[in-house]
A = this chain, B = another copy of it.
Amino acid sequence: MTSLLESDVFLAFSSYATIVILKMMLMAPMTGYYRITRGAFANEEDLHLHGKSADKKLLRTHPDVERVRRCHQNDLENIIPFVLIGLLYTLTGPDLGTALLHFRLFAGSRIFHTIAYVGMLPQPSRGLSWALGMLVTFSMAYQVLSKVLYL
């Protein structure tokens, strides 16, 4: 195991993978914040969080809550594939500079994607940041398949 920690590519991958996963996890408290401030809950047992009355009318959806949840879902659909394919890519021993370029572009694109999504920035800002993240993962997947293909 120590040999992995001597690889700069592995250190860089671990750093960026951890950062983008933490970014994804922060969507959960953000959803909670919007649920409480907007008064829009999914579970009956959560209603007391908004006030003492536990009004069942608050079992509803709210556009702000749904927006944060879509952003969270988009993270699941993009960040987890990046981490999984990125791990395989790292283990194929890529050039450090190339690997760093992939990791940095992905992390930057996903942080900007969240700002664009939650901040309702006009398109194509969100679309382009999503597409850049997809391209980074596709590029790593191509390099994995070209090195390891064994079907």
Contacts and interface: CB of A to CB of B under 8 A. Distances in A.
B134 A25 contact: yes
Contact of A1 (B27, B44, B91, B149): B91
A30 interface: no
Contact of A81 (B4, B25, B70, B81): B25
| Protomer copies | 3
Interface residues of A, number: 62
A132 interface: no
A96 B21 CA distance: 24
A128 interface: no
B148 A81 contact: no
A17 to B, nearest CB: 7
B12 A134 contact: no
Contact of A84 (B11, B21, B66): B21
A45 B2 contact: no
Interface string A52-85: 0000000000000011001010001110110111
Closest 10 CB pairs of A and B: A11-B150, A14-B148, A11-B148, A12-B150, A14-B88, A21-B81, A18-B141, A45-B123, A18-B144, A15-B149
